[in-house]
């Protein structure tokens, strides 16, 4: 009896276990059917998570390709414009810039004009008005990047005869820069003071500043119009040479009287339009490096003067004295456009030929 009861109990337990197992299986089966949606969702979520991770990784890989180091040709004239560039020149020479900038100093602006025309020059420091002339000659093929030099012109003499602009009447003046900023600035100041540059004075145009310095040394009571640093160079060779007129001050007097806010501007940086359009990132990097170089020239005079001497622009001792008077600057963007358009308008008003016949359109100005 006991054994029968035991056997029956065991059978009942086994049946219960089988039933439970069946129920559990059913639950699992039901759960499995209900689970696919939640389970699939995490799987679907995992795929988008992988995509964002892949995209950021790909972008940095492409950036260096868009900025492949290369060599670019930069033209300049001996003087303040190149003096402001010496730190950039040194850094490029030492391999401390991403790109290489071959800076070549030319004796005349005409040589630079030819290089821009035949596309052997990418970027150039040129006299301010020449930038406008080039823009018109190339039918808009030039972009103005920044202003790098303000007024640096001075009338110097070995005597005491020149106390005002009016005293230049009847005199012989040695100068460089025919067809560029010095000529047009001098003519404007003379005319506005009642002196005809064609008949009332004799202007002997020289091809290089050193020729003017030599004429000052060889001629008694000679008068010349020179930019810095060549004023200082001449003074080291002739202790009797004095600055008679600051042409920037004379310009500003006339501007004030006429209600104009035009500033005398000597030098600017330009680049070929096709070069700028093909290399926008490079232009941005170059301007950043150039601005730092200008800051260095103005704030680290001793170090900059040493580099200026090493690059044979002017002797180190001359550079150290002249740098504070060179008006080396970096003006870009909207301020550049405002200042330069006012200056070019002044030149246009006195002689359209000075700016190439007409003022440049707005696309002349590179605004970043």
Q: What is the pLDDT of residues 153-165, one digit of tens each?
A: 999 998 899 999 9
Closest residue by Cα to residue 355 from 367, 338, 342, 368: 342
Query: SS3 breakdown of the chain: % helix, strand, coil, rounded to 5?
Result: 60, 20, 25
What is the pTM assigned to this prediction?
0.76
Is 363 a residue whose pLDDT tops 70?
yes
pLDDT at residue number 2: 40
Query: In the chain, pLDDT over 70 holds for what percent of residues?
Result: 82
**191 confidence band (pLDDT: 50, 70, 90):** very high
pLDDT at residue number 272: 96
Is 258 a residue whose pLDDT tops 50?
yes
In sequence order, which residues have a C-beta less than 8 Å from that of residue 45 and are 6 or more positions away?
Answer: none
pLDDT at residue number 20: 37
pLDDT at residue number 66: 54
Task: In whole angstroms, give the CA distance from residue 121 to residue 114.
Answer: 9
Strand partners, 277: none
Retrieve residue 91's tokens. 């850094």
Q: How many residues does the chain have?
A: 368
**Hey, how many other C-beta atoms are within 10 angstroms of the C-beta on 274?**
12
**237 confidence band (pLDDT: 50, 70, 90):** confident
**125 confidence band (pLDDT: 50, 70, 90):** very high
Is 131 a residue whose pLDDT tops 50?
yes
Is 43 a residue whose pLDDT tops 80?
no
Helix (H, G, I), strand (E, B) or coil at 151: coil
Which is higher by pLDDT, 22 or 343? 343
pLDDT at residue number 67: 53
Helix (H, G, I), strand (E, B) or coil at 203: strand
Closest residue by Cα to residue 125 from 90, 176, 175, 73: 73
Contact 212, 224 (CB under 8 A): yes
Q: Which of 11-25, 69-83, 311-325 has the lowest mean pLDDT?
A: 11-25
Task: Please give the domain boundaries of the chain with CATH numbers for all domains.
Answer: 66-150+265-364 (3.40.190.10), 153-258 (3.40.190.10)
Is 38 a residue whose pLDDT tops 60?
no
pLDDT at residue number 339: 94
What is the strand order of the sheet 142-150 is part of?
100-106, 71-77, 123-127, 265-272, 142-150, 328-331
Q: 């440049």: which residue's tokens?
A: 360
Is 34 a residue whose pLDDT tops 70?
no
Handedness of CA 301, 307, 313, 317 (dihedral sign): positive
Contact 97, 91 (CB under 8 A): yes
pLDDT digits (tens, 9 = 90+) for 337-348: 999 999 999 999
pLDDT at residue number 69: 77
**238 confidence band (pLDDT: 50, 70, 90):** confident
Segment 304-311 shows an average pLDDT of 96
Query: In the chain, pLDDT over 90 holds for what percent of residues?
Result: 65
């Amino acid at each position: 009896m006991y054994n029968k009861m035991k056997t029956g109990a065991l059978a009942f337990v086994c049946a219960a276990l089988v039933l439970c197992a069946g129920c559990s299986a059913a639950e699992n089966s039901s759960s499995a059917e209900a689970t696919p949606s939640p389970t699939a969702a995490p799987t679907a979520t995992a795929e988008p998570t992988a995509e964002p991770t892949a995209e950021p990784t790909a972008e940095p890989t492409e950036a260096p390709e868009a900025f492949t180091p290369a060599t670019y040709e930069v033209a300049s004239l001996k003087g303040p414009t190149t003096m402001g560039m010496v730190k950039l020149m040194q850094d490029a020479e030492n391999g401390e810039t991403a790109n290489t900038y071959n800076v070549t100093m030319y004796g005349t602006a005409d040589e630079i004009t030819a290089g821009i025309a035949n596309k052997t020059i990418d970027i150039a420091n040129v006299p301010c008005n020449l930038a406008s002339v080039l823009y018109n000659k190339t039918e808009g093929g030039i972009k103005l990047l920044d202003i790098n030099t303000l007024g640096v012109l001075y009338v110097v003499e070995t005597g005491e005869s020149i106390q005002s602009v009016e005293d230049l009447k009847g005199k012989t003046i040695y100068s460089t820069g025919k067809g560029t900023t010095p000529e047009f600035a001098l003519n404007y100041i003379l005319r506005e003071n009642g002196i005809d540059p064609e008949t009332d004075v004799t202007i002997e145009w020289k091809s290089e500043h050193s020729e003017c310095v030599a004429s000052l040394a060889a001629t008694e009571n000679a008068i010349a119009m020179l930019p810095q640093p060549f004023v200082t160079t001449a003074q080291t060779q002739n202790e009797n040479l004095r600055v008679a007129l600051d042409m920037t001050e004379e310009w500003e007097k006339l501007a004030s009287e006429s209600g104009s806010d035009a500033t005398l501007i000597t030098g600017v940086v330009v680049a070929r339009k096709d070069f700028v359009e093909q290399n926008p990132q490079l232009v941005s990097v170059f301007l950043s490096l150039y601005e730092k170089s200008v800051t260095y020239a103005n704030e680290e005079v001793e170090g900059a003067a040493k580099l200026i001497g090493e690059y044979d622009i002017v002797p180190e001792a001359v550079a150290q004295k002249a740098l504070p008077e060179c008006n080396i600057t970096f003006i870009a963007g909207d301020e550049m456009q405002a200042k330069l358009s006012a200056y070019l308008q002044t030149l246009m008003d006195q002689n359209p030929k000075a700016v190439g016949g007409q003022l440049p359109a707005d696309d002349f100005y590179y605004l970043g």
